[in-house]
Amino acid sequence: MFDKRLLRAVPKTKTFVMKQVMSQWIALLMNIVFTIMICFLFTFLLEKRLEMKHLIYVGMIMIVILSIRAKALKKAILFSFEGANLVKKILRQRLFEKVLSLGNHYHEAVSTSELVQLSVEGINQLETYFALYLPQLFYSVLAPITLFIVISFFDIKSAFILFLCVPLIPLSIICVQKFAKKLLSKYWNSYTTLGDSFLENLQGLTTFKIYQSDGFKQRQMYQEAQNFRKVTMRVLIMQLNSISIMDIVAYGGAGLGSYMGISHYMNESISLFGALLIILLSFEFFIPLRQLGSFFHIAMNGMAASDKIFKILDIENKHQGKEMLKQDLLNIEFSHLSFQYDKRPILKDISFKIQAGQFIGIVGESGSGKSTIAKLVMGNYQHYDGSLLIQNQERYDIADTSFLKRVMYITHEPMIFKGTLRDNLDFYHQYRDEELYLALKKVSLNQYFKQLEGLDTLILEAGSNLSGGQRQRINLARALLADSEIYIFDEATSQIDVESEENIIAIIKELARTKTIIMITHRLSTVTDCDEILVMQKGQLIERGKHQKLMLENGVYQKLFYQQKELEAYQG
């Protein structure tokens, strides 16, 4: 009935649960005393023995009892709130740390939308598990035992019968649990699938509109939404049915208790006071378990989410390199390196060396493995054969923190955030305005932004108020400010206007005088000045050398170069 792993995941929560149970128990004791006082008053009233002094004493005791009860309940709510907050904080932190440890390739293990749904709604649902269900579970054991002891002083038979009925509720919960677990797992799958499609369809809405397939996508999503609705309804039906069974047990049991109290009074085996107490307390007997049943269904939903959360937490971490790089310049050496994605060979026996300060071009047909080379250098993948050395140390042994602050990876998808231009250029607000303007000048954007609000110009989400070229130039200005040792440009000039492309290529060539540059590109005309060009084909390094040398070789590079020249002349 409770998930040990969840408890182990947040051990500190035990204290809050225990404190909450104790507060609820104190409230129950006060309830019992309150009921005894009521029974006392009624008995005296019915037996015509009630006097003013009784009313005053009982009234005073009741005020004290009610104030203690209110305080205990307030404390219980407070502990529940604090415990829930702790659980949410710790679980979200653990998920966040997990994603960080998986690195920038976390989405290969878990989709972003699933992660968002689990860390927001999934963990919220777990709040009910820790704050309501778990304390109620312990309280539901403690409360009937306490009531059993109290009632047994007046009528041991009734106490036993009531006590025997109590396990019927947990039994019905256990019966439902197995079925509910499967159903809730389906519910979460359907929920995250819908979330994935929603996010993807929203992002691709313009593309669907252009291809006039938005109607088709809408129908697909409608179907997924219908599936989600159906499974939600099945969950609700299951919950309602199970609550109805628990109600029958609870009210049936309380009715039985009342009947026992009355019949034992009628055959004079108990006093009027005892009979009244049994009738009133027999309802108390079942309330905690009945409430447990209601919490159980919401908690089950949280438990289903927790299965998914643990699945993410269980993903094997990337090997964390610990070696720190020396201050010396960084050389990169691939030696007989082979790499596979899902057993599909992508790079085959690659060997080359990049000396610090060199300008290297990597070219080749689409899908030949160029970006994979860059990603291996960035440490995104570690399961390669052969070796990849940086300063003569294996890449996977090097601490990312030590390497990544000395290398910059610029792709054709610049990440631009909502905020000011300054926020986008300078995340930590560490540069002076002159430095920021100098970087903007290098990418020919200073005049443009000066006409607007300068560094305070507001940039919309994903840079939607900028052109593709402007976005990439801001990205480049940010990279220039970082003043890294190695710059990797991966198709950084594709998908932008000619003016921006020329500007960026000129900057890269200027940068190549002082930095190590790896330029991955389709456009061979941009790598003619390189110290070495690596030509890739189907995962193999088939040609290498300077432009002039490769042009004399009558190979793939030369062929590609002339093909592109011809195409450019035709377009021009």
Residue 356-395 contact track with ligand ATP, rule CB under 6 A, x = bound: --------x-xxxxxxx-----------------------
Alpha carbon distances (Å) from 333 to 154, 157, 205, 461: 87, 85, 43, 39
Number of residues that bind ligand ATP (CB under 6 A): 11
Tell me which residue of 136, 138, 132, 145 sits closest to 285, measured CA to CA: 145
Which strand (E) or helix (H) includes residue 353?
A: strand 344-354
Torsion of CA 129, 132, 136, 138, to 10 degrees: 60
- Whole-angstrom distance, CA of residue 380 vs CA of residue 372: 9
Q: Does 341 interact with ligand ATP (rule: CB under 6 A)?
A: yes
Q: For the CB of residue 242, give the shortest distance to ligand ATP in the complex, in Å.
A: 44
Nearer to ligand ATP, 10 or 347 (CB): 347
Looking at beta carbons only, is 446 or 537 nearer to ligand ATP? 537
Residue 338, token pair as written in the block: 């082979």
* Token couple for 536: 């890739």
Window of 85-93, 286-294, 340-348, 393-401 that interacts with ligand ATP by CB under 6 A = 340-348
Determine contact, residues 330/356, Cβ cutoff 8 Å: yes
Angle at which helices 13-46 and 272-313 cross, to 10°:
160
The secondary structure of 486-537 as a DSSP string is EEEEESTTTTS-HHHHHHHHHHHHHHTTTSEEEEE-S-GGGSTT-SEEEEEE
Does position 215 bind ligand ATP by CB under 6 A? no
Residues 20-79 within binding reach of ligand ATP (CB under 6 A): none
| Minimum distance of ligand ATP from residue 499's CB (angstroms) | 23
Instruction: Report the C-alpha gap between 425 and 431 in whole angstroms.
Output: 9
Nearer CB in complex with ligand ATP: 341/417: 341
Residue number, 204 or 345, with CB nearest to ligand ATP? 345
Hey, which residues between 174 and 213 contact ligand ATP (CB under 6 A)? Answer: none
Rank residues 224 and 491 by Cβ distance to ligand ATP and give the closer one: 491
- Minimum CB separation of residue 342 from ligand ATP in Å reads 6
Considering only residues 346, 425, 466, 486, which one is a binding residue for ligand ATP as defined by CB under 6 A?
Answer: 346
- Residue 297 has a CB neighbour count (10 Å cut-off) of 21
Q: Which is nearer to ligand ATP, 107 or 230 (CB)?
A: 107
Query: Least distance (Å) from ligand ATP to the CB of residue 423?
Result: 30
| Shortest Å distance, C-beta 530 to ligand ATP | 17
Closest distance between ligand ATP and the C-beta of residue 103, in Å? 13
Q: Minimum Å distance from CB 336 to ligand ATP? A: 18
- Least distance (Å) from ligand ATP to the CB of residue 83? 41
For the record, the structure tokens of 151 come out as: 């009632």
Between CA 222 and CA 136 the distance in angstroms is 39
* Cβ closest to ligand ATP, residue 72 vs residue 520: 520
Nearer to ligand ATP, 242 or 368 (CB): 368
Region from 142-150, 209-217, 260-268, 338-346 binding ligand ATP, contact rule CB under 6 A? 338-346
The residue type of 34 is: F
> What are the angstrom distances between the C-alpha of 43 and each of 47, 65, 289?
6, 20, 30
Chain contacts with ligand ATP (rule: CB under 6 A) = 341-342, 346, 364, 366-372
